[in-house]
Chains A and B, each alone.
Chain A
Amino acid sequence: MTERRDRSLLDPSILRPALVQSLVKLDPRVQVRNPVMFVVELGAVVTTAIWIGQATGISANDGGAGAGGGNGAQPAWFAFVVALWLWLTVVFANVAEALAEGRGKAQADALRAMRTETSARMRDGSEKAAADLRPGDVVVVEAGDVIPGDGTVVEGIASVDESAITGESAPVIREAGGDRSAVTGGTRVLSDRILVEITQEPGGSFLDRMIALVEGAARRKTPNEVALGILLAGLSIVFLIVVVTLRPFVTFSGSTVSATTLIALLVALIPTTIGALLSAIGIAGMDRLVRRNVLALSGRAVEASGDVDVLLLDKTGTITLGNRQATAFLAMPGVGIDDLAAAARLASLSDETPEGRSIVVLAEEQHGLADAPYPDGTMEFVPFTAQTRMSGVDVEALDGAVRSLRKGAGDALVRWVEDAGGAVPDDLRSTLDHVSGEGGTPLAVAEGDRVLGVIYLKDVVKPGMRERFDRLRAMGIRTIMVTGDNRLTAAKIGEEAGVDDVLAEATPERKLDLIKEQQAGGRLVAMTGDGTNDAPALAQADVGVAMNTGTQAAREAGNMVDLDSNPTKLIEIVEVGKQLLITRGALTTFSIANDIAKYFAILPAIFAGVWLANPGDGEGPLAKLNIMDLGTPESAIISAIVFNAVVIPLLVPIALRGVQYRPVGANALLRRNMLVYGLGGIVAPFIGIKLIDLVVHGLLGA
């Protein structure tokens, strides 16, 4: 789904509706959900009223003789400029949120277009509107039909085009029974005919949920957002008191301060930067997951993924390639290794299993048999059966001599050789044991009454897994490999892959117990799963990622669905979760650190007229605190609130993209972010406000 990925922020299809939304969101009923921005909006309303009062002459001033006090009435344009920039502050915050939502909205529209009004054909031949389907209804879907709702295939097998949801154009197989039985409403059957039992409530389909999620309609504040919101509201309240009490303080000190100035100071002090970007950060976090083709069913799950301590990964398909592969031939004494390879190749030629093919590949690539001719005569292949537990080939040469080549489990081959009157070499048993002991699977190869040697089949760890686990360890996450293999084999593969721990001889119950045990120790557990028997564990895990190819039960149990069905996606999910929290923390720090510079801009302006040595003096001792050398009290205050406003759009890219995350350990990460966003937050506004003042005072003459 390439169109879902990179879409520029300035893409007009997103930007235009975002600008409209930013004005719609000025509705106080919307703003009141965000206390910080609500305060700014109130301030904008009041300053606007003051300006109107001054401009129309209803009130000459608003209680203060001047912005700096003591020297003449405050000009009406000052209240106008302050009001304008306060409105802009709110609008910028709205644009940030609307932009974050915009990308999701565009996707939602695409998805909605898919939700065509289809009618479903019931098993008994009757028709029913798709919207009326209830759980338990069984519908018939044939090639070319759109599947009318989410459900489970109860009969038949079909290839299905799921590109509308996953972005993957290759059709997938859906069949009754097993772990690939789930179908999604809105996808199209390409071949064959299936019976689908509907599992969704009307209006509660996967597609509906997906639309709601990407659109942000179902968005609720996450626990951490709530906590941060409380922190920001608390700061706003205390700064409100700072500003309210400032008036009597200034009066006592022999000067005055206008309401406009106090409101400007309040807005500058309260954490507007993070307040404006908080919800955009959350929406963008979900969006980043969507762009990785992961659907988080709740924001809480995204947040929790940043906290994951333990990752449970299935061995097969996740850590290993999923199929055993031949990696070596071990010849018995007196047998040439190339003879063994040639025999194994012949015995496997008809074996279409991945193991069989890998034997042929090994023989041809490592033992120079790529162009080896097939023996003359007729070849009769002997397929694998559960009874014989071996397979191979009988080659009848032109002279009528028959060579019987077999490969199979050790004990089966021994019996076969002994039945043929042959002797089993002493080395066989020890070689078989050696391979098992290494975590591999041995296959014996025999020709007639003679054992030739052993094929070493091995679970091959996917390339790059060790690096990924190292990366996880650096993030502070332990990985546990889960496998049905015996302990010995499991331990070997675990060691090779570099996981921290293994759960061998795993059953669904043992998996569930392991999760509970980890959780009892206070750890957060994440896992992936696809089968129905994974459902309890998926539900128990703090972050359960269900594969989209999995069963409906698994998809219901998890709190995320990976549309790509890539089990290692968990690593990216964890990074997105951490990035989300880091972005919040970094911008909060930046926002609070900004206050120092804003104080140094606005307070000297307010205090320029306090404690005058003589009544006629232009400025008092505190004018010396104007260390930024800002032009006038008015330009200083305006510069501070302009900075306060423009920093919001400037930080939108960081809020939407997220602060870069590096798995370097908590301490190094903290140091880096404190330096960039803490120290940076102290220094940046000094520079920014000074530059703005150069324009406001120097060029515009304020």
Chain B
Amino acid sequence: MAWVQLALLLAVVIAITPLLGGYMAKVFAGDRVVLSPVLGPLERTLLRLIRVRRDEDGPIGQDWKAYAKSVLLFSLGSWLVLYLLLRLQGSLPANETDLGAAPWDVSFNTVSSFVTNTNWQYYAGETTLSNLSQMVGLTVQNFVSAAVGIVVLIAVVRGIAARSTDPADRRAGSLGNFWVDLVRAVVYVLLPISIVGALVFVTQGALQTLGGPTELANVTGGTQTLFRGPVASQEAIKLLGTNGGGFFNVNSAMPFENPTAFANFFSMVLVLAIPAALTSTYGRMVGNRRQGWAVFGAMALMFVVLAVVITVAEQHGSPAQHAAGLVTSSGDGTTGGNLVGKEQRFGIGGSGLFNTVTTATSTGAVNSSMESLTGLGGLVPMIGMGTSEVIFGGVGSGLYGMLLFIILAVFIGGLMVGRTPELHGKKIEAREIKLAMLGALYMPFTVLVTTALAVGTDHGKVSNYNGGPQGFSESFYAYLSQGNNNGSAFAGYTGYVQPNGDPDGSFGITFADLLGGLAMLFNRFFPILVVLAIAGSLARKKAAPAGPGTLRTDSPTFVVLLIGVIVLVGALTFFPAFLLGPVVQSLTGHLY
């Protein structure tokens, strides 16, 4: 079953990629698309509201600095609005459970998390946030932070594809207009797909109501509070925008969020749809569809390896389980194996694959308990993130992260064929290499430093409940996840303590909240600046036509080289950390 599901998922994603990819290429070229008659008025209204500057040729193009400035300005605005909203939620409407504000440090972390498309959650949604905060605050950020990722990628590809280097051309060096792109990404891409997606979730039984919590008599005769809210709509954008922040604390394991095996499959398709399709958009924009498929191939190859490893590892169970005689293997993937922390309706196949999908992309949604994975199984999500989230990755951010590795691969590969390296005909020189190295190595650098602070200082250690390799994995995972804007958690590491199950008496762990919050902010916006700077530099370069002596970047050979660079330059830095956490647990049955 697990293998059938994997094959089916790949087939669906391969089918979607050129369709959605072509659609997005048209949307961002400003062409008329199928939905223009319906959504055109909304687009025009929003653009009028934003008052985008125009000239006779349309909206005024921005060079990389102007584009980057708009990204930062918009994100800063989003950050401030969301912070105020969360801090003031106690005095605002739509607060059925009468929740007060979360502490400032937890809010700092939460706001940074949502503005950066991370959705790392130190809080439990249902016991911390009002429906207003969820809908107006977080859901809006789910849309726009995803849109920011997409439009940055589009701007970068425009820079790579730019052919006009005529200084007299007013549009030379332009990467497009951020505000126009942002509106188009939300209106034409994210909004229509999430509406359809939400309806599909509702058909599967996901919750969609504005009603507050309800009391319920449980089987033991007591009562329990059942939290409710607009779940299905949040679910759709949570996945489509590779956000990952669920309405409920247990995320996609909760039947209200992810009711059935089909909903689970559909969730995975939603997650992969845009990151995969953007490879095709990229191929079309640079005028070489094979190029898009080559990048897709590199991503898919690494993805399949991860999915296979986690499935086999979970089916096999951990050495500790074997030592305790717990694992009975039936071999069909549904029973036996390591079922700790997994939902029966998804089984090992549906859980392992879901976790691979959401950690390889920077989604971070979970439908099972990460910390209950076997050692080797737990290594898979860490590798997904340790490779800088370029295995499909976050919407937009996955591919622009991949472009950094492509530049490094082109550099090394170009040398090996005896030409000074070029990407799509444009010379990769010292400036591009400097930026690409900064962009590619910034993440490992910060994640290692923050993890060292987490495990090596008393400030950091208070957040961790566990010792042993598990404790190491949890601390490492927390910063790997936040540093990659992923958002999934290995549990056991916290920045927020709620002794009473609600905001009363709760307090934040300032060190963890700030360290993580800053990691999320810097690791989101620093690479964005870097890739935009590269795009700005490439946009002004002359493109040389390809010949037989040119390194082809759309060949299987290049795909192998690219994967090699990602593994050797990107993931190898985490090799020691991988060994100290998950690998130890896959080698010993000892419980620490």
Chain A interfacial positions (CB closer than 8 Å to B): 223-224, 226-228, 230-231, 234-235, 237-239, 241-242, 244-253, 303-304, 306-307, 309, 473-478, 521-524, 577-579, 581-582, 584-586, 588-589, 592-593, 595-596, 599, 603, 607, 610-611, 613, 620-622, 624-625, 661, 665-667, 669-671, 673-674, 677-678
Q: Contacts A226-B430, A249-B455, A611-B468; is A674 near B549 (CB within 8 Å)?
A: no
Are the C-beta atoms of B569 and A592 separated by less than 8 Å?
yes
Are the C-beta atoms of B468 and A670 separated by less than 8 Å?
no
**In-complex Cβ contact of A245 among B433, B434, B437, B448 (8 A):** B448
**How many residues does chain B have at the interface if contact means C-beta atoms less than 8 Å apart?**
64
Would you give the shortest CB distance from B572 to chain A, in whole angstroms?
6
Please report the C-alpha to C-alpha distance between residue A589 and residue B568 in the assembled complex, in whole angstroms: 10
Are the C-beta atoms of B552 and A248 separated by less than 8 Å?
no
Please report the C-alpha to C-alpha distance between residue A389 and residue B432 in the assembled complex, in whole angstroms: 64
Please report the C-alpha to C-alpha distance between residue A315 and residue B5 in the assembled complex, in whole angstroms: 66
Beta-carbon nearest neighbor of A579 in chain B:
B418
Please report the C-alpha to C-alpha distance between residue A475 and residue B414 in the assembled complex, in whole angstroms: 14
Please report the C-alpha to C-alpha distance between residue A226 and residue B432 in the assembled complex, in whole angstroms: 12
Would you give the shortest CB distance from A63 to chain B, in whole angstroms?
14
Residues on the B chain within 8 Å of A304, using CB: 420
Are the C-beta atoms of A251 and B456 separated by less than 8 Å?
yes
Residues on the A chain within 8 Å of B420, using CB: 223-224, 303-304, 306-307, 581
Please report the C-alpha to C-alpha distance between residue A214 and residue B524 in the assembled complex, in whole angstroms: 49
Please report the C-alpha to C-alpha distance between residue A73 and residue B129 in the assembled complex, in whole angstroms: 55
Would you give the shortest CB distance from B241 to chain A, in whole angstroms?
30
| In the A-B complex, the 7 residue pairs with the closest CB atoms | A476-B549, A585-B415, A248-B456, A578-B418, A234-B437, A522-B544, A585-B416
Are the C-beta atoms of A673 and B416 separated by less than 8 Å?
yes
Residues on the B chain within 8 Å of A478, using CB: 547
Binding-face segment, B64-72, B266-274, B394-402, B577-585: B577-585
Seed contacts A230-B437, A242-B444; 14 additional CB < 8 Å A-B pairs = A224-B429, A235-B437, A245-B448, A249-B577, A253-B472, A309-B544, A522-B542, A586-B415, A603-B575, A611-B588, A613-B588, A665-B549, A667-B555, A677-B416
Are the C-beta atoms of A622 and B579 separated by less than 8 Å?
yes
Beta-carbon nearest neighbor of A577 in chain B:
B418
Would you give the shortest CB distance from B138 to chain A, in whole angstroms?
33
Would you give the shortest CB distance from B405 to chain A, in whole angstroms?
13
**In-complex Cβ contact of A239 among B451, B469, B573 (8 A):** B573
Are the C-beta atoms of A678 and B576 separated by less than 8 Å?
no
Please report the C-alpha to C-alpha distance between residue A621 and residue B591 in the assembled complex, in whole angstroms: 12
Are the C-beta atoms of B557 and A227 separated by less than 8 Å?
no
Chain B interfacial positions (CB closer than 8 Å to A): 408, 411-420, 425, 428-430, 432-434, 437-438, 441, 444-445, 448-449, 451-452, 455-456, 468-469, 471-472, 542-545, 547-552, 555, 557-558, 560-561, 564, 568-569, 572-573, 575-577, 579-580, 583-584, 587-588, 590, 592
Q: Contacts A230-B433, A230-B434, A670-B551; is A613 near B590 (CB within 8 Å)?
A: yes
Are the C-beta atoms of B433 and A231 separated by less than 8 Å?
yes
Query: Which among B413, B420, B445, B542 has the greatest number of chain A C-beta atoms within 10 A?
Result: B420
Residues on the A chain within 8 Å of B572, using CB: 595-596, 599
Please report the C-alpha to C-alpha distance between residue A12 and residue B417 in the assembled complex, in whole angstroms: 35
Are the C-beta atoms of B558 and A670 separated by less than 8 Å?
yes
Are the C-beta atoms of B416 and A607 separated by less than 8 Å?
no
Residues on the B chain within 8 Å of A237, using CB: 441, 445
Are the C-beta atoms of A245 and B472 separated by less than 8 Å?
no
- Some 7 contacts from A to B, beta carbons below 8 A apart, are A231-B433, A234-B437, A245-B448, A523-B545, A607-B579, A611-B584, A674-B416
Residues on the A chain within 8 Å of B417, using CB: 582, 585, 666, 669-670, 673
Are the C-beta atoms of A474 and B548 separated by less than 8 Å?
yes
Please report the C-alpha to C-alpha distance between residue A121 and residue B312 in the assembled complex, in whole angstroms: 90
Residues on the B chain within 8 Å of A603, using CB: 575-576, 579
Are the C-beta atoms of B413 and A624 separated by less than 8 Å?
no
Residues on the A chain within 8 Å of B412, using CB: 585, 588-589
Are the C-beta atoms of B587 and A242 separated by less than 8 Å?
no
Residues on the A chain within 8 Å of B429, using CB: 223-224, 227
Please report the C-alpha to C-alpha distance between residue A561 and residue B576 in the assembled complex, in whole angstroms: 53
Beta-carbon nearest neighbor of A238 in chain B:
B441
Please report the C-alpha to C-alpha distance between residue A164 and residue B465 in the assembled complex, in whole angstroms: 80
Are the C-beta atoms of B560 and A674 separated by less than 8 Å?
yes
Please report the C-alpha to C-alpha distance between residue A352 and residue B99 in the assembled complex, in whole angstroms: 110
Please report the C-alpha to C-alpha distance between residue A624 and residue B590 in the assembled complex, in whole angstroms: 14
Residues on the A chain within 8 Å of B560, using CB: 674
Residues on the B chain within 8 Å of A666, using CB: 417, 419, 548-552
Please report the C-alpha to C-alpha distance between residue A156 and residue B523 in the assembled complex, in whole angstroms: 74
Please report the C-alpha to C-alpha distance between residue A1 and residue B204 in the assembled complex, in whole angstroms: 85
Query: Which among B444, B552, B587 has the greatest number of chain A C-beta atoms within 10 A?
Result: B587
Residues on the B chain within 8 Å of A593, using CB: 564, 568
Please report the C-alpha to C-alpha distance between residue A581 and residue B422 in the assembled complex, in whole angstroms: 13
Are the C-beta atoms of A667 and B547 separated by less than 8 Å?
no
Would you give the shortest CB distance from A22 to chain B, in whole angstroms?
27
Residues on the A chain within 8 Å of B552, using CB: 666-667
Residues on the A chain within 8 Å of B569, using CB: 235, 592
Please report the C-alpha to C-alpha distance between residue A622 and residue B586 in the assembled complex, in whole angstroms: 10
Are the C-beta atoms of B557 and A667 separated by less than 8 Å?
yes
Please report the C-alpha to C-alpha distance between residue A322 and residue B561 in the assembled complex, in whole angstroms: 48
Please report the C-alpha to C-alpha distance between residue A178 and residue B381 in the assembled complex, in whole angstroms: 74
Please report the C-alpha to C-alpha distance between residue A251 and residue B588 in the assembled complex, in whole angstroms: 20
Beta-carbon nearest neighbor of B443 in chain A:
A238
Q: Contacts A249-B455, A592-B569, A603-B576; is A578 near B419 (CB within 8 Å)?
A: yes
